[in-house]
């Protein structure tokens, strides 16, 4: 059997750029491959979220009640307003990236740098906004109690609106509740943060305020959480074992704990992509200022960075739709 001989001329014909699929360069083709594979990853995460939500539909938190904060507007109920603003900022940064790519096609260095700078600023604003959302989600808004079975019990006033533990709980003057730290004992095992109020203080406040009732994590046919009668509230409160403030991977004052797990994982994974995109854009921005692409007479790197940035924006549109709106 004769051996196949590959000459230098054959290699040059194959890898020298003569056989570009669909006229796309190697770098852009690899970026498209990455985007395709990462799209499947996000699709799997969102599908898992959808299945879990369908399984626990009757106890899933209501997004309008969870993401209802707005910076500098304390106590104002602004459901989804800030998340919508975050989405607008990220989409607007995608527009500035398009303008940067277009300026690169025209070999206009100053315009590329200007629009890249705006894109980077938009990315930083989005990351800061997402960190602010995480802070509010972790700290909580009202507080609740958790039963032995893991159900969350929230509290409402006479008008049926949710109230915070601070609105009715009676602080105990008998003993001071201290968060244990490593330097406060000879033998220390880290644990959860001590809540602002103990379960006994919450129960005492509940008994002293006859208008306070309990709202369960379950919803009725009208998609509103079920509010118990005063007698049923007293019975349910006797089954409580701990006070929950905010959300983490173990407890969630807003409802089912799986919701918090998906929130941290999906939005965190997307935030990591945005952070990576910002770093890539910063590197490209400085290369533009240094004239690297001007010397090459090609701004293809800006276009490849734009492909990644548009992908990150598009993924957030799906996350925003399925996680916050639906």
Whole domain around residue 165: which residue ranges? 144-245
Supply the DSSP string of 141-161, one letter for each residue: SS-EEEETTS-EEEEE-TTS-
- Check residue 20 and give its pLDDT: 59
State whether 266 and 238 are in the same domain: no
Q: Calculate the alpha carbon distances from 170 to 3, 159, 189, 199, 200 in Å.
A: 89, 21, 29, 10, 9
Angle, CA 146 vertex, CA 48 and CA 256 arms, to 5°: 15
Task: Tell me the three state secondary structure of residue 192.
Answer: coil
Angle, CA 245 vertex, CA 58 and CA 175 arms, to 5°: 135
Q: Is the pLDDT of residue 6 over 60?
A: no
- Check residue 1 and give its pLDDT: 43
Supply the pTM of this predicted model.
0.84
Q: Please say which residue of 223, 245, 267 terminates a domain.
A: 245
pLDDT tens digits for 90-106?
999 999 999 999 999 99
Q: Is the pLDDT of residue 18 over 60?
A: no
Q: Calculate the alpha carbon distances from 110 to 115, 278, 287, 301 in Å.
A: 9, 19, 12, 16
Which DSSP symbol is given to 266? Answer: I
The domain that holds 104 is classified in CATH as 1.20.120.80
Closest CA to 161 of 133, 177, 141: 141
- Check residue 74 and give its pLDDT: 76
- The first and second tokens of residue 58, run together, are 């009757």
Q: Please say which residue of 245, 270, 285 terminates a domain.
A: 245
- Check residue 175 and give its pLDDT: 54
- Check residue 15 and give its pLDDT: 46
Query: Following CA atoms 119, 121, 122, 127 in sequence, which dihedral angle do they give, to the nearest 10 degrees?
Result: 130
Positions of E strands within the chain: 144-147, 152-156, 213-219, 225-227, 240-244
- Check residue 90 and give its pLDDT: 94
Q: Is the pLDDT of residue 85 over 80?
A: yes
Contact 245, 252 (CB under 8 A): no
CA 80 – CA 133 distance, rounded (Å): 11
- Check residue 76 and give its pLDDT: 79
Q: Is the pLDDT of residue 129 over 60?
A: yes
State whether 112 and 161 are in the same domain: no
Q: Please say which residue of 245, 275, 308 terminates a domain.
A: 245
State whether 124 and 169 are in the same domain: no
Domain count, the chain: 2
State whether 44 and 136 are in the same domain: yes
CA 277 – CA 311 distance, rounded (Å): 10
CA 143 – CA 271 distance, rounded (Å): 27
């Amino acid at each position: 059997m004769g051996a196949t001989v590959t000459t230098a001329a054959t290699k040059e014909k194959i890898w020298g750029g003569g056989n570009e699929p669909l006229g796309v360069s190697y770098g852009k083709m690899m970026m498209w491959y990455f985007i395709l594979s990462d799209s499947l990853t996000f699709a799997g995460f969102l599908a898992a979220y959808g299945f879990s939500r369908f399984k626990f539909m009757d106890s899933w938190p209501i997004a309008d009640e969870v993401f209802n904060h707005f910076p500098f507007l304390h106590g104002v109920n602004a459901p989804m307003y800030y998340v919508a603003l975050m989405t607008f900022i990220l989409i607007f940064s995608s527009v500035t990236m398009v303008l940067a790519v277009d300026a690169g096609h025209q070999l206009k260095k100053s315009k590329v740098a200007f629009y890249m700078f705006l894109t980077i600023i938009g990315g930083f604003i989005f990351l800061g906004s997402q960190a602010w959302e995480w802070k509010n989600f972790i700290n909580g808004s009202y507080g609740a109690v958790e039963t032995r079975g893991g159900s969350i019990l929230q509290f409402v006033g006479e008008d049926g609106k949710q109230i915070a533990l601070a609105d009715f709980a009676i602080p105990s003057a008998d003993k001071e509740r201290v968060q244990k730290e490593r330097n406060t004992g000879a033998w220390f095992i880290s644990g959860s943060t001590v809540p602002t109020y103990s379960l006994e203080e919450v129960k005492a406040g509940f008994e002293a305020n006859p208008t306070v009732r309990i709202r369960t994590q379950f919803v009725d046919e009208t998609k509103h959480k079920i509010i118990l009668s005063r007698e049923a509230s007293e019975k349910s409160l006797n089954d409580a074992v701990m006070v929950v403030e905010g959300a983490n991977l173990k407890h969630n004052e807003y409802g089912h704990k799986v919701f918090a797990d998906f929130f941290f994982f999906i939005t965190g994974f997307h935030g990591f992509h945005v952070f990576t995109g910002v770093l890539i854009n910063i590197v490209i921005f400085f290369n533009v200022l240094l004239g690297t692409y001007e010397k090459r007479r090609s701004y293809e790197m800006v276009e490849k960075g734009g492909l990644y940035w548009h992908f990150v924006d598009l993924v957030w549109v799906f996350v925003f739709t399925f996680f916050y709106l639906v």
